[in-house]
Chains A and B, each alone.
Chain A
Amino acid sequence: MKSETMLALYRSMLRIRRVQERIESLYLQDAMKTPVHLCIGQEAIAAGICLALEPDDSIQSNHRGHGHYLAKGGDLKAMIAELHCKATGCSGGFGGSMHLVDVAAGHLGSSSIVGGGIPIGTGIGLAMRMRRTSQVSVVFFGDGAADEGVLYESLNFAMLKRLSVIFVLEDNRWAVCSPRDSRQTGDNVFLRGADPDRLFTARLDGNDAEIVHETARAAVARGRSGAGPSLLVCDTYRIMGHAGCKAQEPSGYRDACEIDAWSDKCPVALYRAKLASRGILDEPTEAAMEATIAAEITEAFDFAAQSPLPHDGDLHKHLFSE
């Protein structure tokens, strides 16, 4: 992997992390009047996958979608404005935090229905096939969504038609307050039994951005060649609670030791150390990166604060395309 690719991976993760941290630190001020689902701890997946994509490749995200949106090239200002429900938000204040969209960046919108985006991303893959393009369609979903039958239905259809769809299961082990072990048998059922010619499957360390990126590149190449879909099961952990900020996290449903253990596997810190040991990331480079990101985030929050709210007269717009 080239050093600029490594730096791009790191920068993408760091930017997602810093955006999340700023949201978390300001959330109790109540200027953001929409639920937020932070993806702290899961940045390597969004960054590693999206760096393997072109702008006209498509992603389907979900309620925990800030990382996907940013990694795919979504506009930060429009995202932060949307969290403030402003008219300048990416969804004009109609969507809130769970319905981010940036069509120019290949992000056609995201659903808050768990598993809802899985067949939609599959259908986008069908359209790519019918239009004879070499684009790929990526679907991000969690282990909670893997409980849903629609995943099996979509995988079956993608395999049947050899669609260029990459199913990315972010296995963060928690669905709201339900542990994975109360919902699924240990290893994911979809990794077993599928003909490898029809479905490329891999279970990987989702906190290792390089592994995610390298695997994504293989899956993308497979998709572009017309060979068919892939299922990447990425092991990771939701460091924060299901929704809101840390101060709002209910206690008692998970072991603090578990959070500590996974915090030690922080994808951003691990990769920083790795790049430093390779001599690719020195202190001045990192400081410059941090400063640029911090300025960009401040600018986005200022933009959001100064932006107008939607008018109540806008209520009836947008239901139908005329």
Chain B
Amino acid sequence: MPWSQIKPDMDEPDYGRDNGLDGRRVTYAAATREALAQALSLDERVFVMGQGVDDPSGMFGASRGLHLEFGNERVFDTPLAETALTGVAVGAALAGMRPVYMHNRPDFLFLALDQLANHAAKWRFMFGGAAPSVPLVIWACIGRGWGSAAQHSQALQGIFQHIPGLKLVMPSTCHDAKGLMLAAIKDDNPVVIIDHRFNFKNKGIVPEDPYLVPLGKGIVRRPGRDVTVAAFSHLVADAYMAAEELAREDGIEVEVIDPRSIRPLDEELILGSLARTGRLVVADTGWKTGGVTAEVAALAAEKGFASLKAPVARVASPDLPTPAGYTLEAAYYVGKDQIKDAVRRVARA
């Protein structure tokens, strides 16, 4: 399929060695799959479910073959019934299991919203802590690409960000894909992981032993003194490439930060970086209005106002559904070029 070629397979940026990683390089899919396999091995309460989770393609490779290794009872295909099956996962979690419910596309999570927003997110609070919590992981991958159009290309993090009681994670590296998945499974609360298909085109350094990347803790991907770019998911790599080019072309030193979790949000990381640079660009694949970039910009206005030397700039998808046609699609999506433009704008302001 041509859409497999819209982004070539590549090594992810090494982010300047500052992340202290060394070792074997594996694909993003292999990193995610390794997390699932290790969780299934380490904790008998863990199981993996999803429509197509035992397909030959196995969720872009993230779950490929797990059913052969761990059996059809612990890794199973589901009926096409996202509302009930999300409730089934909630019930199983309440009764002591640790389900991981995987979706090839996030669009179907709209069908699951009743159980996610009305039930999983509220269950513990609604009973004043007297009911069990819901240790549930919902994983979904944004399927951007070639003519996928309005439904199959949605970036829905803004919806989930809005709901108290859900944790929300968007990994950007192979290392974090594994560590955040293991942390999400270990967490006693409902965690939504929104992944991006572009991340799956990457290879990166991933330690073999199980490890946790704490939820709510971000990281500086590239230090810089002039402008902060807070980017999410695959836009972290775009921001990093933009920063490298801006340093060469304009002499602007961009600090790229990757909050990794949207909720809880690493406010200290964002405000700390803003305090160093005084200028902020926020980049996210979701819609602009009421979305992730709006929330981070509001954080800067509310708690980092004294640091701001220029208005915050946002790089986000326009408030439109995704078109299918490739010229329209190219006009719709944001990436490295839009980040560069935004950085130049705030650097001059």
Residues of A within 8 A of B (CB): 58, 60, 89-95, 99, 101, 103, 108-109, 111, 113, 116, 118-128, 130-131, 137, 149-150, 153-154, 156-157, 160, 310, 317-322
28 interchain pairs, CB-CB under 8 A: A92-B127, A92-B130, A94-B125, A94-B128, A94-B129, A95-B128, A101-B127, A108-B94, A108-B95, A111-B118, A116-B119, A120-B91, A123-B90, A126-B88, A126-B92, A127-B96, A137-B91, A150-B83, A150-B114, A153-B81, A154-B88, A157-B84, A317-B128, A318-B127, A318-B129, A319-B125, A320-B165, A321-B189
Q: Which residues of A contact B209 (CB under 8 A)?
A: none
**Complex alpha-carbon distance, A99 and B188, angstroms:** 21
A92 to B127, CA, bound (A): 7
Q: Out of B47, B84, B95, B128, which one reaches A119, CB within 8 Å?
A: B84
- Complex A-B, nearest 9 residue pairs according to Cβ-Cβ distance, in ascending order: A123-B91, A119-B87, A92-B128, A153-B84, A127-B95, A153-B81, A321-B133, A123-B88, A94-B128
Q: Would you call B115 and A91 a contact (CB within 8 A)?
A: no
Residues of A within 8 A of B28 (CB): none
Interface string of B109-145 (1 = CB under 8 A from A): 0000011001100011111111111000000000000
Q: Which residues of chain B are within 8 angstroms of A154 by Cβ–Cβ distance?
A: 84, 87-88
A127 partner residues in chain B, CB cutoff 8 A? 91-92, 94-97
Q: Are A103 and B118 in contact (CB under 8 A)?
A: no
Q: How far is the CA of A320 from the CA of B90 in the complex (A)?
A: 15
The answer to whether B129 and A156 touch across the interface, beta carbons within 8 angstroms, is no
Given A90, A94, A120, which contacts B94 in the complex, CB threshold below 8 Å?
A120
B18 within 8 A of A: no
Whole-angstrom distance from the CB of B109 to the nearest CB of chain A? 15
Q: Cβ of B87 and Cβ of A120 under 8 Å apart? A: yes
Given known pairs A91-B128, A94-B125, A113-B114, the reply for A131 and B96 (CB within 8 Å) is yes
The tally of residues in B whose CB lies under 8 Å from a CB in A reads: 41
Excluding A108-B132, A320-B188, 4 further A-B contacts by CB distance (< 8 Å) are A120-B90, A127-B96, A153-B84, A319-B125
Is B130 touching A58 in the complex (CB atoms < 8 A)?
no
Q: Would A119 and B126 count as touching, CB distance under 8 A?
A: no
B128 in contact with A318 (CB, 8 Å)? yes
**In the complex, which residues 33-85 of chain B have their Cβ closer than 8 Å to any Cβ of chain A?**
47, 73-74, 78-79, 81, 83-85
Asked whether B342 is an interface residue with its Cβ less than 8 Å from the other chain, the reply is no
Contact at B88–A103, with CB atoms within 8 Å?
no
Contact A149–B83 (Cβ < 8 Å)? yes
Q: How far is the CB of B289 from chain A (nearest CB, A)?
A: 26
Note all chain B residues with C-beta closer than 8 A to A149: 83
A-B contact count (CB 8 A): 154
Q: Are A111 and B128 within 8 A (Cβ)? A: no
- Which B residues are within 8 Å of any A CB, using their own CB? 47, 73-74, 78-79, 81, 83-97, 114-115, 118-119, 123-133, 164-165, 167, 188-189
* Contact B129 A92, beta carbon cutoff 8 Å: yes
| B126 near A125: Cβ-Cβ < 8 Å | no
CA distance A101 to B129 in the complex (A): 10
Closest chain B CB from A56 CB (angstroms): 11
Q: Would B165 and A116 count as touching, CB distance under 8 A?
A: no
- Please name the residue on chain B nearest to A322 by beta carbon: B188
Residues of B within 8 A of A319 (CB): 124-125, 164-165
A92 to chain B: which residues have CB within 8 Å? 127-130
Verify A101–B130 contact, CB threshold 8 A. yes
Closest-by-CB residue of A relative to B90 is A120
Asked whether, in the complex, the Cβ of A119 is within 8 Å of the Cβ of B86, the reply is yes
A119 in contact with B124 given A108-B95, A108-B131 (CB within 8 Å): no
Q: Are B73 and A94 within 8 A (Cβ)?
A: no
Q: Are B79 and A122 in contact (CB under 8 A)?
A: no
| A317 to B129 CA separation, bound complex (whole angstroms) | 8
Contact between chains at A318 and B124 (CB < 8 Å): yes
A90–B83 CB distance below 8 A: no
Q: Are the C-beta atoms of A118 and B129 separated by less than 8 Å?
A: no
- Structural contact, B131 and A119, CB atoms closer than 8 A: no
Chain A residues lying within 8 Å of B131, measured Cβ to Cβ, are 91, 101, 103, 108-109
> Bound complex: CA of A89 vs CA of B131, how far in Å?
13
Is A109 within 8 A of B88, CB to CB? no
